[in-house]
């Protein structure tokens, strides 16, 4: 395999506490060397001077919709969207049709990703069979087939006894439990954040307590069982505080925040904008500030997109009946870099939230730059100015609330296992 030399970039790999101007030499899909003034004859050279070179970005919350919902997205289009956004690894949620609740579906996803995918895919299996919340999946066998974490994302486990048993069972297998923390009884028939905007628009509200009560339950069950808990898309002030306190007590909990939750508030719903409809919903300005604070103080371990492609027909309807979710893979990097511009975090911390942070949350073997290790690398131009055009997204679906937004920062090259899988022209 050809050699690749990435020259003169600011190499930031928080996992290795590396932040220096240096070169990276890639050979046979592996990182052969990281150092100053590397030279390699017959190597393809990427001039990264003035750019930032990081471990390939990792998104641990993606819906690839494959199998079964390929009209929204499939493994090829979803991973193309990922590499366009600078991601070299994605973990995909199990709410496919059929549900990824057994090793056959897991293997289907892995095989298809190996054949048609543009980046690494880590399938997340469900906690309960068929996402029905009644009995748990064969987590031991799933683990053997490459599953690192389980989640009933989108259809959270209501029964606390099942969640307790799932945690107890998952723990010895080293399986991480990802919770979409929402109390469905408190959600009721709500369709947006409960608050003054919902009152004004006459839309039913989802109160913050629906998330906080569930987050508190999951944290307590994790504390009780000792199982590794990862809380998905934390969106409320209260949930951030619950996780913060749990971490201080030493509970084995991590959490993620989605770019839309640290960028937008429920004001975005005005005009009945169905591309501002997701679950958990866009919250108040106070909640958004708390999520940003959680990102700044280390409570939040990872930025994850909750990339949720939906067909135009599922969004071009009355707000109350529109599907929940937005695509996020291609806008996550600039929205995360905006946190740096806003002074919330510094650049290395932003990179950590997109690389070793998410990888560690699910124990994924990616997210760093080590000699001899897999060459998953993203070359980022933090100053690259561009405008989001939903119709030009690589994803099959165009449901983004950021259409027309001016962005700063983009992946110039995305490299998976030493191969340049995406270059921005």
Structure tokens at 245: 């306190």
Site for other proteins in 242-271 (CB under 8 A): 271
Among 38, 40, 320, 420, binds other proteins (CB under 8 A): 320
Least CB distance to other proteins at residue 180 (A): 24
Please identify, using beta-carbon distances, which residue of 22 and 390 lies nearer to other proteins.
390
- Distance (Å, rounded) from C-alpha 204 to C-alpha 201? 9
Q: Is 196 in the site for other proteins (CB under 8 A)?
A: yes
- Distance (Å, rounded) from C-alpha 71 to C-alpha 97? 12
Please identify, using beta-carbon distances, which residue of 200 and 341 lies nearer to other proteins.
200
Catalytic residue among 59, 66, 101, 306: 306
Least CB distance to other proteins at residue 174 (A): 42
Q: How many residues does the chain have?
A: 425
Least CB distance to other proteins at residue 204 (A): 8
Pairing of strands 253-257, 229-231: parallel
CB within 8 Å of 139: residues ≥ 6 apart: 125, 147, 150, 166, 169, 170, 173, 175
Among 82, 90, 124, 198, binds other proteins (CB under 8 A): 198
Q: Which residue has the tokens 């939750």?
A: 261
Size of interface with other proteins, in residues (CB under 8 A)? 21
Please identify, using beta-carbon distances, which residue of 42 and 321 lies nearer to other proteins.
321
Please identify, using beta-carbon distances, which residue of 122 and 208 lies nearer to other proteins.
208
Least CB distance to other proteins at residue 214 (A): 19
Q: Is 321 in the site for other proteins (CB under 8 A)?
A: yes
Contacts of the segment 392-395: beta carbons below 8 A, 24+ positions apart? 393/81, 393/84, 393/327, 393/330, 394/77, 394/80, 394/81, 394/84, 394/330, 395/73, 395/77, 395/78, 395/80, 395/81, 395/307, 395/309, 395/327, 395/329, 395/330
Least CB distance to other proteins at residue 186 (A): 12
Q: Is 286 in the site for other proteins (CB under 8 A)?
A: no
Contacts of the segment 202-205: beta carbons below 8 A, 24+ positions apart? 203/269, 203/319, 203/320, 204/320
- Distance (Å, rounded) from C-alpha 231 to C-alpha 142? 21
Please identify, using beta-carbon distances, which residue of 71 and 386 lies nearer to other proteins.
71
Least CB distance to other proteins at residue 273 (A): 10
Q: Is 318 in the site for other proteins (CB under 8 A)?
A: yes
Structure tokens at 19: 């932040």
Cα atoms in the 13 Å half-sphere on the side-chain side of 323: 17
Q: Is 200 in the site for other proteins (CB under 8 A)?
A: yes
> What are the two backbone dihedrals, phi and then psi, of residue 270, each rounded to the nearest 5 degrees?
-50, 140
Choose the stretch contacting other proteins; rule: CB under 8 A; options: 17-25, 33-41, 200-208, 249-257. 200-208
Q: Is 194 in the site for other proteins (CB under 8 A)?
A: yes
Choose the stretch contacting other proteins; rule: CB under 8 A; options: 14-22, 123-131, 193-201, 348-356. 193-201
> What are the two backbone dihedrals, phi and then psi, of residue 326, each rounded to the nearest 5 degrees?
-140, 160
Among 114, 317, 404, 406, binds other proteins (CB under 8 A): 317
Q: Is 205 in the site for other proteins (CB under 8 A)?
A: yes
Q: Is 202 in the site for other proteins (CB under 8 A)?
A: yes
Q: Is 20 a catalytic residue?
A: no
Q: Which residue has the tokens 């690494």?
A: 120
Q: Is 360 in the site for other proteins (CB under 8 A)?
A: no
Q: Is 343 in the site for other proteins (CB under 8 A)?
A: no
Among 71, 173, 319, 384, binds other proteins (CB under 8 A): 319
| DSSP state for residue 374 in the 8-state scheme | B
Q: Say if residues 16 and 408 touch (Cβ distance below 8 Å).
A: no
- Distance (Å, rounded) from C-alpha 303 to C-alpha 47? 28
Q: Is 404 in the site for other proteins (CB under 8 A)?
A: no
Structure tokens at 131: 């996402």
Least CB distance to other proteins at residue 272 (A): 3
Structure tokens at 268: 């975005």
Among 44, 107, 199, 245, binds other proteins (CB under 8 A): 199
Please identify, using beta-carbon distances, which residue of 202 and 250 lies nearer to other proteins.
202
Please identify, using beta-carbon distances, which residue of 40 and 320 lies nearer to other proteins.
320
CB within 8 Å of 370: residues ≥ 6 apart: 16, 31
Positions annotated as catalytic residues are: 306
Task: Give residues in contact with other proteins (CB under 8 A).
Answer: 194-205, 271-272, 313, 316-321
């Amino acid at each position: 395999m050809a050699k690749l030399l990435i020259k003169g970039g600011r190499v930031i790999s928080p996992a290795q506490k590396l932040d220096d101007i240096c070169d990276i030499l890639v050979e046979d899909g592996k990182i052969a060397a990281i150092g100053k003034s590397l030279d390699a004859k017959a190597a393809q050279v990427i001039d990264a001077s003035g750019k930032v070179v990081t471990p390939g970005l990792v998104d641990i919350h993606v819906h690839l919709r494959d199998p079964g919902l390929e009209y929204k997205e499939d493994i090829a289009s979803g991973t193309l969207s990922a590499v366009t956004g600078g991601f070299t690894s994605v973990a995909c949620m199990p709410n496919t049709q059929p549900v990824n609740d057994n090793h056959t579906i897991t293997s289907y996803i892995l095989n298809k990703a190996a054949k048609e995918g543009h980046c690494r895919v880590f399938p997340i299996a469900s906690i309960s069979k068929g996402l029905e919340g009644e009995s748990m999946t064969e987590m031991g066998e799933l683990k053997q087939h490459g599953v690192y974490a389980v989640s009933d994302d989108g259809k959270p486990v209501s029964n606390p006894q099942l969640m307790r048993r799932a945690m107890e069972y998952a723990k010895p297998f080293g399986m991480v439990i990802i919770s979409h923390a929402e109390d469905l009884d408190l959600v009721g028939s709500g369709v947006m954040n409960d608050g003054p905007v919902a009152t004004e628009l006459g839309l039913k509200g989802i109160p913050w307590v629906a998330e906080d009560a569930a987050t508190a339950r999951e944290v307590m069950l994790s504390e009780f069982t000792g199982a590794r808990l990862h809380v998905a898309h934390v969106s409320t002030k209260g949930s951030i505080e619950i996780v913060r306190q749990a971490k201080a007590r030493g509970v084995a909990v991590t959490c993620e925040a989605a770019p839309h939750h640290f960028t937008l508030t429920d004001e975005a719903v005005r005009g009945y904008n169905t591309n501002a409809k997701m679950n958990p919903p866009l919250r108040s300005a106070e909640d958004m500030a708390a999520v940003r604070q959680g990102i700044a103080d280390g409570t939040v371990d990872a930025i994850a997109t909750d990339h949720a492609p939906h067909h135009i027909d599922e969004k071009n309807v009355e707000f109350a009946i529109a599907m929940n979710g937005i695509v996020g893979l291609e806008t996550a990097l600039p929205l995360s870099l905006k946190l740096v511009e806003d002074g919330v975090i510094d650049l290395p911390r932003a990179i950590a939230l997109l690389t070793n942070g998410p990888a560690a949350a699910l124990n994924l073997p990616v997210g760093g730059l080590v000699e001899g290790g897999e060459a998953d690398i993203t070359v980022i131009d933090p100053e690259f100015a561009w405008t989001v055009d939903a119709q030009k997204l690589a994803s099959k679906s165009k449901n983004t609330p950021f259409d027309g937004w001016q962005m700063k920062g983009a992946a110039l090259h995305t490299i998976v296992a030493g191969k340049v899988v995406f270059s921005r022209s």
